[in-house]
Chain A
């Protein structure tokens, strides 16, 4: 099922016309006998591997100088060396890179990868069967998962994924250039902001904010709600309200004052270190995005599961999240998915434990929503959005 060209298909194409047999076809038929991914392990061997290959986003782990304290502690505890590679900086391009081997049934030599849930690729991996099932018997700490993350619509029973860190999407504004921009209405239709705002190019983020502002529910997208939100953004594009669609490159533009306001991610604004730039969850609500850990096909399920159990210990998570200035450990500073991490963090860095961008209050969390993962993979929406943003 994962091999694209079986012998039968090759012969079928030969029948269609000699030209259809291409080099790649022949190569594919002859070549790949590579490290085939196990065709769905029925029972997980409960033996720890020597190495855990972990691909993650940059600067998404606690650090002490050039080392990663939590990974070192994990090695001390279990004897497993974590080969930590920070080679993910964008869901789309990382997926484009790994879909090649995965679609051929080849392993990508990773035990854990991290993908975002408000982008289509996380649910796509699960849908295509490219993710291994977690060994939940090795993850008793899964009970510490915060309630709001227990049944996401792309993985209702948390069989394949577990959150790594979360963040929120809202609106940032520069108080030296504008009055507070606290709603999507202000952002998209405020006349004083014309040409001085940016919107995120990620469908999951932008659409969630606009739909909430329209009074619609982004967790269950319909054609009607989609069209309403889409046309509103398109209008802002056409009358030049929106300066650009950006990824994370809104930060420099905001920092040097070329923008009055920007749709932005919570973590970034704290990092700018500029006391004139404020971030808020929009009045009508914002987006919650979560980077999830996934075991790609061919990864070592047991070892990966043991690692996941380790980071779901509230004490471990608290230290990873907040860091510890006494031991010169720098934290991750995103939103942890583990119950009790906030309490644990208080003993390490009380100042960070009080930061609501890292440990948000319940009322903040009630105002952020996760985008409908079915809509993320809707071809029609994808094409429309693509044309709007990069066409």
Chain B
């Protein structure tokens, strides 16, 4: 232990080393290759060559602006929905779950055991034009008489929300479960109402979980393509669909790469603004 004491400053680096080295090799190097590809030009027939082709970026931004914005939009709405839907449940599990906590957490991730395609197929059956849900909504006049849920932006956003619920719920739970109930009791002893106790004590203490859940939902959702492909119509496509198409069908690898980096930049900007909103310590964690 003495060695560790003497080399205290090394500790963070030692802790980081395994994971960061792994990511450096298996993520950063591929990312480097992707960056290289994004500046290539040519086409698949004659081959690609590196020409510092910044026009790939400009063209991508220019031609697919709508899809970029739509992606951030859909992801944002889905994240907000996921937060609102999951928070009460995370709270309930954390404070009332008792010995059933782990089982309930398992239920939250259970849908993932059936593979995406099968559970989406099940949802399509439930939300079918002639199904119970649509008929009910039609009789309640929420939907027009020939209205439908599938192949709409609603279906896409709902699909994204549903599939990312665990990414929001689990971090929320993790943070809420840590809160000492005696703090809430103390607040109530000091004449706070239940609502005030929640707003002034519980919610702020759960903020790290809110931030974590938001990041784990919004960031991957922005790059999603499969929900839009199966549940959306032609005008609901996200930038993920365009990247998919450019990569697979057009074999236009530079375009796909450039678009990916623009998406990443857009996401980082959104995250940066979000960090400003909630305070960076929540995002990066306070140092000891």
Contacts and interface: CB of A to CB of B under 8 A. Distances in A.
Contact between chain A and chain B defined by CB under 8 Å: yes
B67 A391 contact: yes
Contacts of B36: 22, 24-25
A116 to B, nearest CB: 13
Contacts of A24: 29, 32-33, 36
Interface string B7-42: 000000000000000000000010011011000000
Interface residues of B, number: 39
B241 interface: yes
Contacts of B32: 22-24
A235 B122 CA distance: 32
Interface in A1-37: 4, 13, 20, 22-25, 27
Interface stretch (B100-108, B196-204, B247-255): B247-255
Contact of B129 (A237, A242, A257): A257
B45 A242 contact: no
A20 B50 CA distance: 8
B25 to A, nearest CB: 10
Contacts of A390: 229, 237, 241-242, 244-245, 249
A387 to B, nearest CB: 8
Nearest to A28: B33
B2 interface: no
Interface stretch (A38-46, A289-297, A376-384): A376-384
A22 B31 CA distance: 11
A149 B234 CA distance: 35
A123 B265 CA distance: 37
Nearest to A249: B230
Contact of B125 (A237, A256, A385): A256
A379 B254 CA distance: 14
A389 interface: yes
B43 interface: yes
Interface string B119-155: 0010011001110000000000000001010110000
Contacts of A95: 248, 251
Contact of A237 (B148, B232, B234, B250): B234
Interface in B90-104: none
Interface residues on A, range: 35 or more
A23 B29 contact: yes
A195 B229 CA distance: 16
B151 A252 contact: no
Interface string A352-391: 0000000000000000000000000101001101101111
B245 A96 contact: no
A244 interface: yes
Interface string A224-263: 0000000000000100101111000100110011100000
Contact of A244 (B67, B125, B232): B232
Interface of B: 29, 32-33, 35-36, 43-45, 47, 50, 64, 67, 121, 124-125, 128-130, 146, 148, 150-151, 229-230, 232-234, 237, 241-242, 244-252
Interface of A: 4, 13, 20, 22-25, 27, 92-93, 95-96, 99, 124, 127, 195, 237, 240, 242-245, 249, 252-253, 256-258, 377, 379, 382-383, 385-386, 388-391
26 contacts: A13-B50, A20-B50, A22-B32, A27-B29, A95-B248, A127-B45, A195-B146, A237-B234, A240-B233, A243-B151, A244-B151, A244-B232, A252-B124, A252-B125, A253-B124, A257-B128, A258-B124, A258-B130, A258-B150, A382-B249, A383-B250, A386-B245, A390-B241, A390-B242, A391-B64, A391-B237
